[in-house]
Amino acid sequence: MNYQRVVADGLIVTPDGTVRGSLGIHDGRIAAISPDPLQGDEVIDARDRVVLPGAVDLHVHFNEPGRTDWEGWGPGSRAAAAGGVTTVVEMPLNCLPPVTTVEALSAKVQAAEASSVVDFALWGGFITDNLAHLPALASAGVIGFKAFMCPTGTPEFTHVEDGILYEGLCRIRELGLFLSLHAESHWITRHNTERLQSQGRTDRRAWTEARPPAAELEAIQRALFLAARAGCRLHIVHMTLPEGAEMIQESKAAGQPVTVETCAHYLTLTDDDLVRLGPVAKCAPPLRDRATQEGLWQDVLQGRIDCLTSDHSPCPTEDTTGRGYLAGVGRDQWRPDAGAVDAQRGGAPPRHDSATVRDAVVGNAGKDRRFVAAQRGYSNRRRRRSVGHRHESRMGGAASVATVSSQALSIRRPDHERMDRSRPAAGTDGRARR
């Protein structure tokens, strides 16, 4: 049989493991996986390459509409495609207006459909005063809701205290959806911030001291308790701690429906990198020390982390290099939004030992449960590399070190406006997916 396209002689990642062979593609779907050579109108040489399913990134911020000077669906989705991500699930904040009403959701869908070169789904926002809007957002197609247990740094997206949080969990359970939660204690982080500010601290270590592991662990424990009492499914975002993974595993073992993600920057950067790099490595929760990072890697490799995400969240260069502790002085050290991780392009974590990254990504990327999306977050279109499934692939070296540039990253820069906005990534069509 002659196929329209053949991906030849690669290491193919499937749900059942990796196989050396070729893919035969017809009408945009995988028609054959064969250890023998296949014939095709177009042949892509995949020797010395790993053929992975197109990834789903469950956690990105593209900031459009309203803050396209921060990013936008065009450059953000191009960066995703460059990193092998063929579906993004975009968060409800940093855009203006935030996605806390159906009208705001419609505006975001319109912006995404106009510019995205990859498939997308959307989170709805849960804030202090929009409980009445949750049913309409659910009916309009959001995959779930996102809330914060501490201030977000954007005044239009308020965090929720325990009373509202519990009521929202009950409402979301009734809607059959789930809550994605930023888990850091408002009270611990606020107390530490006020104490360090009173001491005149504006150094880079002060950011990590203000948001210690205890703040994250306390919030995770409280979230697990409230979600269990409400009977609502829960997803903990950008978790940084082995102790947190252990708490979540214990809740799972007791039957609680909960999933957890961590991010590439927590696996590749440490608090020493924050000191070295400044606000471009500033995030919340903050980067942790090397020992914590090694423990988190073990959680990833042993399957205690449900998915890896980017938390791609850029902001203008002047916001991360012109203020506060990069210069060593200034009150803007303490702005929650003064730093940002621009991570979408990276794909697999870039700095860790290449063999470890290879084993983690190649060994797990074909499995439904890990490295793609949390099973409840995007269950209707999980990427699988098997016969009959839609062809969305990425290829990479099995163990290699790459040098990247801002041009390759497709970050938001004026000179990137010349890039072709109309050409989609191979195997994607920019469609919205529930």
320-342: average pLDDT: 44
Q: What share of the chain is helix, strand, coil (3-state, %, to 5)?
A: 40, 20, 40
What are the residue boundaries of the structural domains of the chain, listed by start? 2-47, 53-378
Single pTM value for the model: 0.82
Distance of CA 287 to the CA centre of its chain: 16
Q: Round to whole Å and give the CA distance between 11 and 272.
A: 36
Which of 273 and 431 is assigned the larger pLDDT?
A: 273
**CATH H superfamily, domain 2-47:** Urease, subunit C, domain 1 (2.30.40.10)
User: What is the CA angle 144-84-284, rounded to 5?
Assistant: 50
Q: Is the peptide bond before 279 cis (omega within 30 degrees of 0)?
A: no
Least confident of 29-43, 57-71, 199-213, 355-369: 355-369
Q: How many Cα atoms occupy the beta-carbon half-sphere of 215 within 13 Å?
A: 23
pLDDT band of 358, cuts 50, 70, 90: very low
Alpha helices in 38-152 (DSSP H): 73-82, 102-115, 134-140
**CATH H superfamily, domain 53-378:** Metal-dependent hydrolases (3.20.20.140)
pLDDT at 406 over 80: no
pLDDT band of 20, cuts 50, 70, 90: very high
